[in-house]
Every structure is written in structure tokens, then in C-alpha cells.
Amino acid sequence: MCLQVLPKESKVVSVKPHGTSDWASTARVETEMGDGSQKTYFLKILRGPNGGERVLGEYMSMTEIYKTFPSIAPQPRGYGKCKDEDVHFFLCDYLFIKNVLPDPVRLGKKLAELHRRSESPTGKFGFHCTTFDGKLPLTTAWDSNWTSFFTKLMRGVYELDVEVNGFWQELDDAMKEMLDKLIPRLLDPLTAEGRTIKPCLIHGDLWESNIGTEEQTGEIYIFDACAYYAHHEKELGIWRCKHHDMKEAQYREKYFENFKPSEPKEEFDDRNRLYSVETLLINSAHFPGSVARSLALNELNWLINKYRQEM
């Protein structure tokens, strides 16, 4: 299965189910090296027609993160096709982590460092392959303009939601107003009056289950990424969503102590609310009938009502 990406002198001792995932099978792989030392890996198995694209997206995402800031992520070891038809794998180093909410201070510092260190290879927003949030593909083709990039990302996520949950006129009306008017109103000022924003490498789906705390050192690690280069504030939109446990304001506040909000700063919380809508809609597309769809509409209506006279 994954033997082709392991060191040649290593021998698999055991493979045991480990952890949980809504979209994959996961396991802990124990190996023995030629010198008798032990090495442990984390294995993810994906089944289905898009499994190859998904493991490629995760491998490229985690490789980009590890290359940028090695101390924030486990080292990816490889990906590929299993002997069985339509079965693919992703393999990385195993982390001995505790299942606790991350420390806001440590997380804010390390995440800001990842964003600060990163450099887009094209100077644009986007990524060099399709990445998947859960089982669903994101629209992340390169674009030099953040307003344009985010508009296309949101349109793609909305189409995924409609495909699963069906057409809803009220939401469609709000989405059209958001795509045509609200996004430009909130994001164009980021590059007005000579301002610029750096495309930063973001994890893309950074909620508590994709963040680990190492048992012995307390160090923070991130994994299971659907990465792309984005406005750094985009990473934090997920943290205000009610279906996640990291919605406390301290997580955003500690991050912004290390990487300040963009100008105009007085609108950063409204941008954060806008960015959270993408998380809510992708959640709705994953879990048909969930309350996330109504919450997305509520957030859109709140923003549209606030900025209606300026759009």
C-alpha cells in the first residue's frame, strides 16, 4: 500500500485504526528501521473516484506548509494509489498529541509566523493544484486580485451547496448581492489608496480537530490542510462559526497581537464575518439540512443591511 514511500530499510510492524474522519479511514503505522529503531506514521485512506485528487491536494498542501515552517506541521512522506482500484493513500509522520483545545497564545504566535514567512510562488492568490475542504473541491485558481479570487471561491462553494441542498430563493438573492456588491465593498478598500495585501499561505480549514497539542512539549501542530495563498485574515473566519469550539474572541485577538488586521482596521470584524460565510456554506454542503445554511443567510443579511447604503 504505502510501502513505496517508506525508507527502503524499514519494515512495517503493525497497522492499527487510529482516530476518526468523516471522509476517510485513518491508521497508525508502526515500522522498524534497519538499525532497529522505531518510526511511527499516520496513514489516511480515501476511496472513490476523486480520491487521487484529494490525496494529491492534501500532500501538496501539507508539503507547502512544512516547507514554509517545519515546526508547525508533521512531515508529509508521500501519497499514491493503493493496489485496490479507486483507493488512494496519504502518509505523514505521526504526532503524539492530546485532544484538547489549543492554547490561544501559542497558536496565535505560530500561525502568524507561518503566514509571515510564506511567499506565494506566483505572487498571486490561489494554489497550484485543487485542494479539498473535506470531500469537496475548492476554487483556488491563481488570481492577482483578492476581491476577484474570493468572489470565485464563494461562487464555487455556493454552487456546491445548491447541488446538495437545492435552490433557496432567499439565499440566492443574498448571494447575488454579496457577490456583486458586498464583496467589492468590503475587500476593495484593502488595496485602495496605495495599500497592498500579501498573499499568505493559509491552512484553509483550521478548526480544533485539525490542530494538535504535542503531549510532552505543548507545541502546536496543524494538519489535514486544504491550503492556498490568501489574505491572512481569511484563515480566521472559521473561528467565529458556532458549530466549532474555537469561537471565543481570544483566539482571534491573540493572533492579531502577532499579525495585525489590514487597513481599514475598523472593518476587520465585518471582513471576518464575511469570510465565515464560506465556512458555513461548505459545512452546509457537507451536511445537508444542517443549520449552517440558515446561519450563512443570517450573516449575509446582517452585512447587507449594514452596508446597503454604501454598495
What's residue 47's pLDDT?
Answer: 87
Domain chopping of the chain, boundaries: 3-94, 98-310
What's residue 1's pLDDT?
Answer: 56
- 303 close to 182: Cβ distance less than 8 angstroms: yes
Q: What stretch of H or E contains 78?
A: strand 76-81
What's residue 48's pLDDT?
Answer: 80
* Residues composing the chain: 311
Q: State the residue for C-alpha cell 485513518.
A: 26
Please give the order of strands across the beta sheet that includes 11-17. 11-17, 25-32, 38-47, 87-93, 76-81
Given this structure, which CATH class describes domain 98-310? alpha beta
What is the Cα–Cα distance from 237 to 274, expressed in whole angstroms?
A: 8
Amino acid letter, 202? I
- pLDDT digit of tens for each residue in the chain (311 aa)? 556 778 777 888 888 887 766 678 899 999 998 788 899 999 999 988 889 999 999 999 999 999 999 999 999 999 999 876 788 999 999 999 988 999 999 999 999 999 999 999 999 999 999 999 999 999 999 999 999 999 999 999 999 999 999 999 999 999 999 999 999 999 999 999 999 999 999 999 999 999 999 999 999 999 999 999 999 999 999 999 988 899 999 999 999 999 999 999 999 999 999 999 999 999 999 999 999 999 999 999 999 999 999 98
What's residue 226's pLDDT?
Answer: 98
CATH of 3-94, one of 3.30.70.660, 1.10.357.10, 2.60.40.1730, 3.30.200.20: 3.30.200.20
What is the Cα–Cα distance from 77 to 90, expressed in whole angstroms?
A: 8
What is the Cα–Cα distance from 205 to 224, expressed in whole angstroms?
A: 8
